[in-house]
Chains A and B, each alone.
Chain A
Amino acid sequence: MRAFTYERARSPAEAATAAARMPGAKFIAGGTNLLDLMKLDIEKPVHLIDVNTLALDQISATADGGLRIGALVRNTALAADERVRRDYGVLSRALLAGASAQLRNKATTAGNLLQRTRCPYFYDTNQACNKRLPGSGCSAIAGFSRPLAILGVSDACIASHPSDMAVAMRLLDAKVETVQPGGATRVIPIADFYRLPGNTPHIENALQAGELITGVTLPKPLGGVHLYRKVRDRASYAFALVSVAAVVQPDGASRLALGGVASQPWRVEAAEQEKSVPAITGRLLAGARTTHDNAFKLTLAQRTVASVLDEAKRVPGAQKGAAA
């Protein structure tokens, strides 16, 4: 690992200002992804700003009946929070499907939103990767692409977004709260937070230099049946090949988001207007670009959506006809 200087943040605004002032500075919270990448010389910060000292670890009610989740709330604490378990079950389920308990005890809400792809070519510094080294090419497209994305991809990058939590956040219309260098704050709807790779796959989100996530807000509870189905190569502790987050109402109206198949948590609101499963998946998966290795994800996603919508009908308390 390369050497770096280190400071403990005193306030969110000071942290953002310090980060913007120093090229090559990065925030560190849980560190479970950043340190992994620093050991491999993929992330190379020259200065770390430890934000664990900031008072951003609380979950509180908002005026409009939702929840505000501090940026530093650990994945375990968020999944176990009584209000989240009761009112945002899909979020608890997504969190619990990710990583291991040791990692969830450290990993934070904001860090989870920002975690980097596990594309094997991003990780292998001997391979071309436009996300790691812009302009170097993409070894993944013609390579081992089984775990990689089929939606929201480009000729420059087919990396898949690794997060389970972010899929549930996208489904729930979460909003990302930030502070910018100088102290101004802003709110970014999660639908606008992630960037498609295009020709700049190294730019993954809407955050500007030095901008620090301070929290995530959830709108008031949706009700309905909450499900998160993760299909992976092992029964536990593996990234998703395909995951489906769903909230299904008694009248059959459903929200759906996919993980493991796209460059970002994938939701197509227009698909949720459809009534039949083939029409829903048709719209949700429209524009998919597959490789020889990952073409199976198209079928797997269709079948997993159908299975989840079917399961929603069987959950006690849900009325029949969740989806035709």
Chain B
Amino acid sequence: MSKLCDINTGRRDLLIAGALSATAAAVPAMAVAQGAATTSGANTGDAVPPVIMPVNIEINGKLHALELDTRTTLLDALREHLHLTGTKKGCDHGQCGACTVIVDGQRINSCLSLAVMHEGASVTTIEGLGQPDKLHPMQAAFIAHDGYQCGYCTPGQICSAVAVLGEIRQGIPSHVTPDLNVKPLLNAEELRERMSGNICRCGAYSNIVDAIVDAAGRPA
């Protein structure tokens, strides 16, 4: 039992180390960009010193009064400032979906949104959906169906999946909905299309679809 625990801790440490090295790698790149700004920033005006602004955001039911650099994305506010590291940084360009969170009921890529743009917003992250002692049904379904391997994309997959069920309930059509004027069905084809903004490099896709179908209360 303790051995299994050790393995889990080891993997967690590895992921944290990976995230740190990614941050470190970003520093020289930023230094280069700022160096360039002093020599060739003329096409958009003079370089601006860092700007700090207040922003109030409700995260997982708790109001946070933050003071953030305007450049801070919602993702970085969650991870770096609030230490809610469940939400993952994958590509940081809106291509992978690892950073998916639910804002005012809608799933978004938190990497492509500035924290200061979310004054008064209500954000739900994977930590807010459920905790180990009280899992959200979607979290439980992902565990039951092995809807992951390495787990890095999983928080984004689960936030996305919870929102997908809401979108189908609201009758929002998708690319594969056969008739725009008929309520979309909850089937594997719809789920695959609707989850296409969440990439899983381990390829757990079929188990993810099974987990979502299960969580929706239908037989897998």
Residues of A within 8 A of B (CB): 1-6, 8, 22-24, 28, 31-32, 35-36, 39, 41, 44-48, 50, 52, 76, 79-80, 85-86, 89, 92-93, 96-97, 99-103, 105-106, 235-237
Q: Report chain B residues within 8 Å CB of A79.
A: 172-173
With A101-B164, A103-B109 already in contact, the answer to whether A2 and B47 are too (CB < 8 A) is yes
Q: Does B2 contact A (CB under 8 A)?
A: no
A35→B113 contact, CB < 8 A:
yes
Q: Report chain B residues within 8 Å CB of A50.
A: 116-117
Cα–Cα, bound, A212→B176 (Å)? 34
Cα–Cα, bound, A23→B48 (Å)? 12
A31→B113 contact, CB < 8 A:
yes
Q: Does B124 contact A (CB under 8 A)?
A: no
- Tell me the smallest distance from the CB of B77 to a CB of chain A, in Å: 14
A80→B173 contact, CB < 8 A:
yes
B53, B175, B193 pick with most chain A CB within 10 angstroms? B175
B180→A85 contact, CB < 8 A:
yes
Cα–Cα, bound, A52→B120 (Å)? 13
A89→B180 contact, CB < 8 A:
yes
Which residues of B, 146-202, contact A by the 8 Å Cβ criterion? 160, 163-164, 167, 170-175, 177, 180-181, 192-194, 196-198
5 pairs of A and B residues whose beta carbons are closest in the complex: A100-B197, A24-B45, A24-B44, A236-B196, A85-B180
Q: Report chain A residues within 8 Å CB of B30.
A: 1
Interface 1/0s, chain B 43-54, versus A by CB < 8 A? 111111111010
A102→B33 contact, CB < 8 A:
no
With A36-B93, A96-B175 already in contact, the answer to whether A23 and B45 are too (CB < 8 A) is yes
Cα–Cα, bound, A219→B193 (Å)? 31
Q: Report chain A residues within 8 Å CB of B172.
A: 76, 79-80
